[in-house]
Amino acid sequence: MKKLLVVAALTMAAAPAMASKARMTALGNSAHLIDTTTIFVNSADVHYLGDFATIEFGTANNAAGTPHAEGGFVRSSSMGKWGAHLGRQSDTVNEFVTKTNAAIAPAELLKEQNALDLIYGTELGGQKWGFGLHYSNAKDEATTAMGNRKVSTLGGSFGVRNDIWNAYLRFGLTGKTESDLVAAGSPELEQKGLFDLGFGYWIDTLYVDAKFLTTKGTLSAGGTDTDIEKTQYSVGVTDNVKVDGGNFFYGARFANEEVKTGDSKRTVMGLPLLAGIEVDATSWMVLRGSIKQTVLLGETKDDATGTDLKTNLLNDTTVAAGAGLKFGKLSLDGTLEGSTTGKVNADTLLANASLTYMF
């Protein structure tokens, strides 16, 4: 029963101000949270949210960090829960494209364009299940300097969740972006596989989770192939404490990431600590914030230049804050962009903003 109350607190505290990117950014994207954005990690999370429609503004969820619009909805029916989302981009796909574009000027390969996500949730065998489909297909034949360009992606996911534990698997089926610009060697980047797995378990107020992701790709340009491979894993524990009007949480996570590009390799390993709070300041306003910093273990190795470069525990203290305004079933949420300086910059006000209606 206590575990059930913890999950309920996470999903209902400060309701209905669940504001997707804005809320998650302000709370440091802590792994224990359930929100309208986490349905793209574990699609079974749709069962722990009411029906909603959301519109997103601000910093995009992609490697380039460029602003773009996105939004969608989830509704219930006699056959389960279903929804659609427009414009959400894959971090991993765009990360590979960003790395490639830095090496193949003047051709700039397209990142994902006009992506579509479909979500379906149902109950099977006493468990809450979710299934997702991610798709994009676009071309640009109007930019002579870049050549005729095309990009397409297709992936899927499924997840399961109950009040004690949850698990998910996301996978990429196809991912390809290309240009026929001869001057750049007619580059083509093909992502050959993506597997992203995760598991989480509640022990009273403690949430323990583990994640693993691996993906590979090949860049072909001018008759030369370059393999790109990324592997990352992490294990974390978070304690969620009910406070007056909201929740306070704190935790630690060991994380390791390795990216190989041809013969070069970059490895990042660290132990970041995260603490955050979300409370109802008034009946119509929610305030939230977080702070994150790597401690004890923190090392980056990079041999891309032919010389081993290494850094240890350089300053990475990051703070974020946000607020949600509630107008009945409608909420408007914004956040200050994460900062390592602690200064408030007017340019980062409402770096993310979300408009969400809970039916």
Chain center to CA of 284:
28
| C-beta separation of 104 from 28 below 8 A | no
pLDDT tens-place string over residues 239-249: 999 999 899 99
Query: What are the structural domain ranges in the chain?
Result: 2-358
Q: Tell how strand 352-358 and strand 70-77 pair up.
A: unpaired
What pLDDT does 3 receive? 43
Query: Among the CATH numbers 2.40.160, 1.10.10, 2.60.40, 1.10.8, which is that of 2-358?
Result: 2.40.160
What pLDDT does 118 receive? 97
Rounded CA gap, 332 and 127, in Å? 33
Quote the tokens at residue 132: 């997702």
What pLDDT does 57 receive? 80
Per-residue confidence in pLDDT tens, the chain, 359 aa: 344 333 333 333 333 344 468 888 889 999 999 999 899 999 999 999 989 999 988 654 444 445 478 899 999 998 999 999 999 888 777 877 877 777 776 678 888 889 999 999 999 888 999 999 999 999 988 877 788 889 999 999 999 999 999 999 999 988 899 888 888 888 888 888 889 999 999 999 999 999 999 999 888 888 888 888 999 999 999 999 999 989 999 999 999 999 888 888 889 999 999 999 999 999 999 999 999 999 988 888 888 665 677 788 788 888 988 899 999 899 888 887 555 555 555 555 556 788 899 99
What pLDDT does 59 receive? 56
H helix intervals, the chain: 2-12, 21-26, 91-101
